[in-house]
Amino acid sequence: MEARRNKKNEVTLKPPIASVGILGWMRKNLFSTPLNTILTLIIISLFWFSILPFLRWALIDASWLPGANCKESGGACWSVISSNYKMILFGFYPQDILWRPITAILMLITLLFISRNRNYWNSFLGYAWGISLVIIGILLKGGIFGLESVEIEKWGGIILTLLLSVFGLTAAYPLGVILALGRQSRMPMIKTFCVFYIEFIRGVPLISLLFMSSVVFPLFLPKGFAIHAVLRAQVAIIMFTAAYIAEVVRGGLQGMNKGQYEAADSLGLNYSQTMRLIILPQALKIVIPPSVSILISAFKDTSLVVIIGLYDLLKTTKTALSEPKWMGFSTEAYIFLAVIYFICCFFMSTYSRKLEKELNTGLE
Amino acid sequence: MAITIYQKNSKPISFWYDPDKRSILYQVGAVCLLTFVAWYLISNTLINLERQSVTTGFGFLNKEAAFEIGESLVSYSAVDRYAKALLVGFLNTLLVSFIGILLTVILGTIIGIARLSKNWLVKKCAGVYIELFQDIPILLQLFFWYALFNEMLPSPREAISPFKGLFLCNRGLIFGIPQSHPVHVYMAIAFLIAIIAIVILKKWAAKRQNSTGQIFPVFYTSTALIVGLPLICWLIGGAPTDMNIPELKGFNFKGGIGVSPEFTALLLGLVLYTAAFVAEVVRAGIQSVSKGQTEAAMAIGLKPGQVLNLIVLPQALRVIIPPLTSQMLNLTKNSSLAVAIGYPDFVSVAGTVINQTGQAIEGVMLIMVVYLFFSISTSAFMNWYNKKMAIVER
């Protein structure tokens, strides 16, 4: 090994080539032991034999344009998406006024992006949310300001998926907080009811609640009184999500120091003041990250409404696929949907992790 | 007692400011409201049912079902009663959940450990897997696998056969099994005896170690017992090697055991989805045991196997088991999505029954009772486990 003398006349040795740079990194992280070497080689060969053919199928041999003849090319048929994307994304919404749902969705996304930054969390943002949700509702429904009215039956695709999850969570959150407070209550009747409700809902699958909303709920209503299926499913989703939120909020309430309650008592605050001013602001802050995970699962769970026949993203895709021309190309359509869901959920979960880190350092 | 004197001298507290009385009032109000809502809904329901001339009650369970079920663990035909049909669905749910949980725990543990691997490639692959499968709705995954089975796999005539006796085609997975032989019964008995022997052996070894300090190689002896006893039985019985290998007859396979594409797609979807969550649970559990524990155990001279068995696992499992059980429960609840791809699980059969009889309330009630049964038994187990594993503080 080459030895050199530096200015202070000390001997310095160059680090061995095999322990620095790319080579060193590879030796340390990929080939450190015989077992690791074998694992690395197995994974690389798996990539070679599965990912490369997949990429070839998905990108090189694929047909992209609506007019392409899919049956002849050996690759993926993305034409199924490019020919049907309006149907898949917006369902039966009238095609000439698609600017309305697109504006609504853009508004929602903008709001979500603004809400990402914790510096903007104030009452103004709350009002902005309230007003925007109303505007989104007007944009979608129409009927006033000279906008053409669109029936709820025609809302479909991504509109329905987003509405069910966003409205579901906004309505479920207050309900969940009330249930959590009820579960902590000293009044035995109210406590029993809340415990029963939360445990019951968490014990049954969402699909049974959706069945209930589609076949049993109409029986509950007096004659001549009907609620639209979308709304009924929305109620089921709200009831379902509320129970899970209640458990998360309860975790936050139990994490509160007893001194907080005592301090509030000694100040002479009553129950609602204690909760509103002291406990909930702190407890809800702790539970923001798990609440985002509930938002993620609520977003994923809206796909279940396809089973009771509502036109969410999954159902509109199935409808587009039912055309004989597209028989045998559902894999491509499902991959497209998976990409949409993945992007949305990935953003949310990354955000939740970032928030968790921020809040943790803030507290300690 | 300053407080009592103060209360004696002051006027009695007014009704509205006494927290006890007020709480009674609130509760009476809440109960009244609930009763009223319940009464209103029930009376509406009764009127509606009368108008549709549906008789309430579970009497319909004794009627003839008149529909076929694709897959069944017990013999079932269309002339059987609704109750039998529901039982078939229940058993199918149990089957897919049981196998699913078994595979999920194995796969999830492997991926969870891989997530902590020192090998960069292995670690990243596990991370990508976890993120990818957690972020795609389970229903979409089920549709995807089912479509893949139906569209990408060949017909039985051109079935893929990686080795003799295993066929993969759009009718599902078909594989050969050993031809049934009387010696199999004895092998099963030998297996049970081996398990009982291992339990006794373990107790005896622990006792001996406590009194003499000598360690008995329990693991090797157990392995020898559990493999050896059935093997000896098999050899004594004449070592029958006949296999029941599926053969293509006409348009489908005869012989062997076939697993339908619905079942395979459901199982695959559930296992891959839940394993991503289990992997995170396992990773968190392993990370919860601080490194000092391992180092301390090695410092007092325990072997690597003992470090894992006596120090790391008992502590990690305390963290892992509670969320793991809730993931198992999730898998069981998610198996109800079988209805979307046509596997006859309990929800799917109950849905058919509701459509045929119009007994919607009873049908949905049955679904809820079955799943509540699963979740209550799980939480009963959890309570027992938490009590058993709670750290005994001095």
Residue from B91, B333, B360, B93 nearest A201 by CA = B333
What range defines the domain where residue A27 resides? 13-48
Of B30, B360, B361, the CB nearest to A189: B30
Scan for tokens 């020192």, then name that residue: B118
Condensed to tens digits (0 to 9), the pLDDT of residues B127-145 reads 999 999 999 999 999 999 9
User: Could A187 and B27 be called an inter-chain contact, meaning their C-beta atoms sit closer than 8 Å?
Assistant: yes
Is the pLDDT assigned to residue A11 strictly greater than 80?
no
Of A189, A207, A331, the CB nearest to B337: A207
Instruction: Please give the Cα distance from A194 to A179 (Å, whole number).
Output: 6
The pLDDT-based confidence of B369 (bands split at 50, 70, 90) is very high
Closest chain B C-alpha to A1 CA, distance in angstroms: 29
Is the distance from CB of B278 to CB of B128 less than 8 angstroms? no
Is the pLDDT assigned to residue B118 strictly greater than 70?
yes
- Write down the pLDDT at residue B225: 87
User: Could B23 and A187 be called an inter-chain contact, meaning their C-beta atoms sit closer than 8 Å?
Assistant: yes
User: Could A219 and B48 be called an inter-chain contact, meaning their C-beta atoms sit closer than 8 Å?
Assistant: yes
Of A40, A211, A222, the CB nearest to B44: A222
Instruction: Please give the Cα distance from A305 to A312 (Å, whole number).
Output: 7
A15 or B365, higher pLDDT: B365
Among A57, A194, A208, A247, the strongest candidate for a mutation testing the B interface, having the largest count of B CBs within 10 A, is: A208
Of B118, B131, B334, the CB nearest to A32: B118
With beta carbons under 8 A apart, name residues in chain B contacting A300. 135-138
- Write down the pLDDT at residue B108: 93
User: Could A193 and B30 be called an inter-chain contact, meaning their C-beta atoms sit closer than 8 Å?
Assistant: yes
Q: Averaged over B306-327, what is the pLDDT?
A: 86
Is A346 in the B-facing interface, judged by CB distances under 8 Å?
yes
Same-domain pairing of A20 and A89: no
- Considering only alpha carbons, which residue of chain B is nearest residue A341? B136
Q: What is the largest CA-CA distance in chain A?
A: 100
User: Between the ranges A20-24, B18-22, B93-97, where is the mean pLDDT highest?
Assistant: B93-97
- Write down the pLDDT at residue B142: 92
**First and final CA of chain B: distance in angstroms?**
37
The number of residues making up chain B comes to 394
Instruction: Please give the Cα distance from B307 to B297 (Å, whole number).
Output: 6
Take residue B209 and report the two structure tokens written for it: 């170690």
Condensed to tens digits (0 to 9), the pLDDT of residues A284-341 reads 888 888 888 888 888 898 889 888 888 888 888 888 888 777 777 788 888 888 999 9
Mean pLDDT of chain A, nearest integer: 82
Among A179, A189, A221, the strongest candidate for a mutation testing the B interface, having the largest count of B CBs within 10 A, is: A189
- Write down the pLDDT at residue A3: 55
Which amino acid is present at B205?
A
Of A304, A331, A349, the CB nearest to B147: A331
Same-domain pairing of A287 and A332: yes
Same-domain pairing of A202 and A269: yes
With beta carbons under 8 A apart, name residues in chain B contacting A203. 368, 371-372, 374-376
B102 CB burial (10 A radius; 0-12, 13-18, 19+): exposed
Q: Where are the domains of chain B?
A: 82-164+261-389
Estimate to the nearest angstrom the gap between the alpha carbon of B384 and the chain centroid: 18
Compute CA distances A17 → A20, A25, A32, A287, B80, whole Å: 6, 11, 16, 49, 77
CA atoms within 13 A of residue A218's CA, in its CB half-sphere: 13
- Write down the pLDDT at residue B104: 94
B243 or B332, higher pLDDT: B332
Of A39, A190, A342, the CB nearest to B132: A342
User: Could A208 and B375 be called an inter-chain contact, meaning their C-beta atoms sit closer than 8 Å?
Assistant: no
Q: Averaged over A17-24, what is the pLDDT?
A: 73
Compute CA distances A148 → A97, A162, B73, whole Å: 9, 22, 56
DSSP character for B81?
B
Count Cβ atoms below 10 Å from residue B352 Cβ, excluding itself. Answer: 20
Is the pLDDT assigned to residue A363 strictly greater than 70?
no
Closest chain A C-alpha to B361 CA, distance in angstroms: 6
- Write down the pLDDT at residue B55: 73
Is the pLDDT assigned to residue A221 strictly greater than 90?
no
Give the 3-state secondary structure of residue B253. strand
Condensed to tens digits (0 to 9), the pLDDT of residues B25-58 reads 888 898 999 999 999 888 888 888 877 777 777 7
Is the pLDDT assigned to residue A36 strictly greater than 50?
yes
B74 or A1, higher pLDDT: B74
- Write down the pLDDT at residue A5: 62
The complex's ipTM works out to 0.85
Q: Averaged over B181-204, what is the pLDDT?
A: 88
Residue from A344, A5, A97 nearest B136 by CA = A344
- Write down the pLDDT at residue A65: 73
With beta carbons under 8 A apart, name residues in chain A contacting B144. 331, 334-335, 338
Residue A141 in any domain: the answer is no
Of B44, B141, B374, the CB nearest to A220: B44
Return all residues near B110 (Cβ < 8 A) that are at least 6 apart.
none
Is the distance from CB of B133 to CB of B229 less than 8 angstroms? no
Is A18 in the B-facing interface, judged by CB distances under 8 Å?
no
Is the distance from CB of B361 to CB of B353 less than 8 angstroms? no
With beta carbons under 8 A apart, name residues in chain A contacting B360. 215-216, 219
Instruction: Please give the Cα distance from B38 to B31 (Å, whole number).
Output: 10
Take residue B211 and report the two structure tokens written for it: 């009194």
The H-or-E segment that residue B334 falls in is: helix B313-334
Same-domain pairing of A44 and A154: no
Q: What pTM value is reported for the model?
A: 0.84
With beta carbons under 8 A apart, name residues in chain B contacting A207. 336-337, 339, 347
- Write down the pLDDT at residue A222: 78
Closest chain B C-alpha to A312 CA, distance in angstroms: 12
Of B34, B137, B147, the CB nearest to A341: B137
User: Could B138 and A300 be called an inter-chain contact, meaning their C-beta atoms sit closer than 8 Å?
Assistant: yes
Among B28, B121, B144, B151, the strongest candidate for a mutation testing the A interface, having the largest count of A CBs within 10 A, is: B121
Is A322 in the B-facing interface, judged by CB distances under 8 Å?
no
With beta carbons under 8 A apart, name residues in chain B contacting A296. 135
Beta bridge partners of B257: B175
Is A227 in the B-facing interface, judged by CB distances under 8 Å?
no
Q: What is the CATH number of the domain that holds A163?
A: 1.10.3720.10
Closest chain A C-alpha to B63 CA, distance in angstroms: 22
Residue A124 in any domain: the answer is no
Query: How do B172-175 and B166-169 pair as beta strands?
Result: antiparallel
Condensed to tens digits (0 to 9), the pLDDT of residues B224-275 reads 888 888 888 888 877 777 777 777 776 667 777 778 888 989 999 999 999 9
- Considering only alpha carbons, which residue of chain B is nearest residue A330? B147
User: Could A216 and B347 be called an inter-chain contact, meaning their C-beta atoms sit closer than 8 Å?
Assistant: no
Beta bridge partners of B166: B175
With beta carbons under 8 A apart, name residues in chain B contacting A190. 26-27, 30
Is the pLDDT assigned to residue A1 strictly greater than 50?
no
Q: Averaged over B314-337, what is the pLDDT?
A: 88
Take residue B154 and report the two structure tokens written for it: 């060949």
Return all residues near A279 (Cβ < 8 A) that are at least 6 apart.
A253, A256, A260, A261, A264
Give the 3-state secondary structure of residue B299. helix
Is A297 in the B-facing interface, judged by CB distances under 8 Å?
no
Instruction: Please give the Cα distance from A60 to A62 (Å, whole number).
Output: 6
B115 or B218, higher pLDDT: B115
- Write down the pLDDT at residue A6: 63
The pLDDT-based confidence of A364 (bands split at 50, 70, 90) is very low
Mean pLDDT of chain B, nearest integer: 84
Estimate to the nearest angstrom the gap between the alpha carbon of B28 and the chain centroid: 41
B277 or A19, higher pLDDT: B277
Is A41 in the B-facing interface, judged by CB distances under 8 Å?
no
Same-domain pairing of A36 and A157: no
With beta carbons under 8 A apart, name residues in chain A contacting B339. 207, 307
Interface size between A and B, measured as CB pairs under 8 A: 155
- Give the class (CATH, top level) of B82-164+261-389: mainly alpha
Is A220 in the B-facing interface, judged by CB distances under 8 Å?
yes
With beta carbons under 8 A apart, name residues in chain A contacting B368. 200, 203-204, 208
Is the distance from CB of A235 to CB of A193 less than 8 angstroms? no
Is A338 in the B-facing interface, judged by CB distances under 8 Å?
yes
Is A188 in the B-facing interface, judged by CB distances under 8 Å?
yes
Count Cβ atoms below 10 Å from residue A357 Cβ, excluding itself. Answer: 11
Number of domains chain A is built from: 2
Condensed to tens digits (0 to 9), the pLDDT of residues B50-106 reads 777 777 777 777 777 777 777 777 777 777 788 888 899 999 999 999 999 999 999
Instruction: Please give the Cα distance from B290 to A108 (Å, whole number).
Output: 44
With beta carbons under 8 A apart, name residues in chain B contacting A335. 144
Torsion region of A110: left, alpha or beta (phi above 0 gives left; psi -120 to 50 gives alpha): alpha
The pLDDT-based confidence of B2 (bands split at 50, 70, 90) is very low
Is the pLDDT assigned to residue B392 strictly greater than 80?
no
Condensed to tens digits (0 to 9), the pLDDT of residues A160-172 reads 888 888 888 888 9
The H-or-E segment that residue A5 falls in is: strand A3-5
Of B31, B125, B139, the CB nearest to A43: B125
Same-domain pairing of A26 and A167: no
- Write down the pLDDT at residue B153: 77
- Write down the pLDDT at residue A17: 66
Is the pLDDT assigned to residue A272 strictly greater than 80?
yes
Among B110, B117, B143, B373, the strongest candidate for a mutation testing the A interface, having the largest count of A CBs within 10 A, is: B143
- Write down the pLDDT at residue B268: 92
- Write down the pLDDT at residue B1: 41
Closest chain A C-alpha to B79 CA, distance in angstroms: 26
Phi first, then psi, for residue A217 (nearest 5°) are -55, -40
B255 or B118, higher pLDDT: B118
